[in-house]
Amino acid sequence: MESIPQDTLFEFNPDTLVYLRKQYDLDKPGRIEEAIDILEDWIKKQNHFTVKSFPRDYLERTIIISKGSVERAKTKLDKLCTSRTVLPHFYEEIDLKNPDLLEDMYGCFLPKLTKDHYRVYIFKCNAKTLKAGLINYYRYFFMQCEYVQAHDYCNGIIAVADYTEANMLEVLKWFNAVDVRESIMLLREGYGMRIKGIHLLSGSKALDAMVAIFKQVLSAKVAGRLYTHKSIDDVATIIDKDIIPVEYGGKEKPLIELHKKNLEVLSSDSFTAHLREIKKAKTDENLRLSATEADQYLGMPGSFRTLSVD
């Protein structure tokens, strides 16, 4: 890939491709192609992989998000394929055209990158009651992660969760350590997204309980990147105004407009076909070379729950 293809949802800085390749010593002629060749050859030898062929630009993004390390890329790809086998509840297909599905919560990765090439994600929850809990949003979020894996080129993510208009006590009823641990593990170890910061917005004292849940599952390193804010006005002090939506003091379109565009793209025939195809990339644990390897990747066969998130 000599340049980043133009994308429907994402924009890139003029130097994003060069910067990230140079940062990981992949800017020399032929170096990235060599790395992809090595990863492709390794994939073909994995007996437990149900799919042994991936688009080369998909593999390049896997290598970049793995800090340029082919060995890390192997591990992340294995964990992602394994997660589709052992965490199927996050991958159930949902109807994004159903207007009631995400009625009280929405969010998306923002179009523009920060100056240091991080992608910002903003989640907005207005819920006073949650009839179906949070599971459909987890599913929607990982659909977005699949889009990122297939189309984005970035250094990592900055996450903002806005609960300023939500009933925090109702949210906490459905916010549990198991789901948070599994989803962050999948985000970090499967999709390989490096978390620069997690910003939680709410004036409610119940936010302390949410922070406590996060700290149960985050390593000290990532927990040190967890911040709380009482007002949405704080967002404009931590992220460039050119990037964030107008309601947060920025110059970007309103979050709900960006969210609706995401729904349109993610529910399109082309992306639905891609999603169904990539979901076939799982593992057959009976064919993995040894139980020790499964333990190495997931803490226990079939579970993410014993791993620390770093």
CB of 246 closer than 8 Å to CB of 253: yes
CA 235 – CA 303 distance, rounded (Å): 35
Q: How many Å apart are CA 2 and CA 301, to the nearest integer?
A: 39
pLDDT of residue 192: 85
pLDDT at 1: 66
Give the domain 105-267 fold.
Phosphatidylinositol Transfer Protein Sec14p (3.40.525)
**Distance of alpha carbon 23 from alpha carbon 175, whole angstroms:** 37
Residue 222 confidence (pLDDT): 87
Please give the structure tokens belonging to residue 86.
């052992």
Structure tokens at 197: 């910061």
What is the predicted pLDDT for the residue at 162? Answer: 97
Distance CA 134, CA 143 (A): 15
Q: What is the pLDDT of residue 286?
A: 92
Label residues 23-33 b or e (16+ Cβ within 10 Å = b). Answer: ebebeeeeebe
How is residue 185 written in tokens?
């593990």
Residue 192: count of CB within 10 angstroms of its CB: 24
295, 206 contact by CB (below 8 A): no
pLDDT digits (tens, 9 = 90+) for 165-175: 999 998 998 88
H/E stretch holding 106 reads strand 105-113
Closest to 121 (Cα-Cα) out of 91, 152, 95: 152
* pLDDT tens figures, 10-54: 999 999 999 999 998 888 889 999 999 999 999 999 999 999 999
Global pTM reads 0.89
pLDDT means over runs of 10, the chain (310 residues):
88 94 89 95 96 94 91 94 94 87 88 96 91 87 95 94 94 88 90 92 94 89 92 94 96 96 95 94 89 44 34
The single-letter DSSP state of residue 223 is H
3 state SS of 302: coil
Domain residue ranges of the chain, discontinuous segments joined by +: 15-90+278-292, 105-267
